[in-house]
Amino acid sequence: MKEKTILKLKLNTDPRWVNIAEKNIEDILVDHAWCEQKAASTGISMIIHYPEKTRLVAELTDLVAEEWGHFERVLLELRKRGYPLGRPRKDEYVVQLLAHVRKGGARERQLMDQLLVSALIEARSCERFKLLWQHIADQELSKFYYELMVSEAAHFVSYVDLAKEYCDPAVVDARLQELLEIEGEIVTNLPVRDDRMH
State yes or no: pLDDT of 5 exceeds 60.
Answer: no
pLDDT in the model for residue 125: 92
If we measure between CA atoms, which residue out of 159, 99, 175, 166 comes closest to residue 124?
A: 159
Total number of residues shown for the chain: 198
Quote the radius of gyration of the chain (alpha carbons, Å).
Answer: 16
Per-residue model confidence as pLDDT tens digits over 162-176: 999 999 999 999 999
pLDDT class for 147, splitting at 50, 70, 90?
very high
The percent of the chain in helix, strand and coil, each rounded to the nearest 5, is: 75, 0, 25
* Cβ atoms within 10 Å of 39's Cβ, excluding its own: 24
Q: Does residue 187 come out as left (phi exceeding 0), alpha (psi in the -120 to 50 range) or beta?
A: alpha
Residue 195 DSSP one-character state: S
pLDDT in the model for residue 2: 42
pLDDT class for 1, splitting at 50, 70, 90?
very low
d(CA 127, CA 133): 10
Helices and strands in the chain, H and E counts:
8, 0
pTM of the model: 0.92
d(CA 110, CA 106): 7
Instruction: Report DSSP letters for 60-83, one per residue.
Output: HHHHHHHHHHHHHHHHHHHHHTT-
